[in-house]
A and B are shown apart, each in its own frame.
Chain A
């Protein structure tokens, strides 16, 4: 059972544009929602994270929007740069189950010049 659904599978954005990646979850016990960035051959790197008591969190060019009632959250990358080209994973965890992470299937982002 896939508990975190991520879309789109791949995304091509022009330099300077906005990249938007969406995730939906089913388990209402989830209480922590991080986004990870992964380059080929590397481990996932934490990008930004949010808890369900806030609807939005911004760090630099990266913003998470969170809709608790819809059980959805999204990552917005403003002013996308070629260096942002990577695979992005949303994830969710529940402190009641040792905070083990459940990941989405990933979005491969390509930022073109």
Chain B
């Protein structure tokens, strides 16, 4: 148990639909990261939050993607007008143990866009 839950664990949707994923750290953390992992590749950074503020977004995060962390605890990642290329595992990570660089990942949400 890494202290991070993600919901849903799996999502199948049709192209053009909107989807929303949620990340819930068990305890409070000032930082929260989102990564995307496509099949056979390592995770790639998407965005991160410092408390409620979204401080950086990767170029991978097109205008169809939006992320929020309204109360500095849980976070949501929404994809609008999904495309087949959005099919991937979406991972949430939090730093733990007092070191910002040590990130622990949740189980991920696997998205399949048909």
Contact = CB atoms under 8 A, between A and B. Distances in A.
Interface of A: 6, 31-32, 34, 36, 41-46, 49, 89, 91, 93, 95, 98-106
With a 10 A CB-CB cut-off, give which of A31, A36, A100 has the most chain B CB atoms: A100
Contact of B101 (A43, A89, A99, A103): A99
B102 A43 contact: no
A37 to B, nearest CB: 11
Contact of B42 (A32, A41, A43, A91): A91
Contacts of A31: 101
B44 interface: yes
A100 B95 contact: no
A93 B101 CA distance: 7
B106 interface: yes
Contact of A102 (B40, B45, B93): B45
5 contacts: A42-B107, A89-B43, A98-B50, A98-B56, A99-B103
B50 to A, nearest CB: 8
A6 B45 CA distance: 17
B21 interface: no
B35 interface: yes
Contacts of A106: 40-42
Contacts of B40: 105-106
B33 interface: yes
Given A34-B102, A101-B35, A101-B103, 14 more contacts: A34-B103, A42-B107, A43-B2, A43-B107, A43-B108, A44-B91, A44-B105, A46-B102, A91-B42, A98-B55, A98-B56, A99-B100, A99-B101, A102-B45
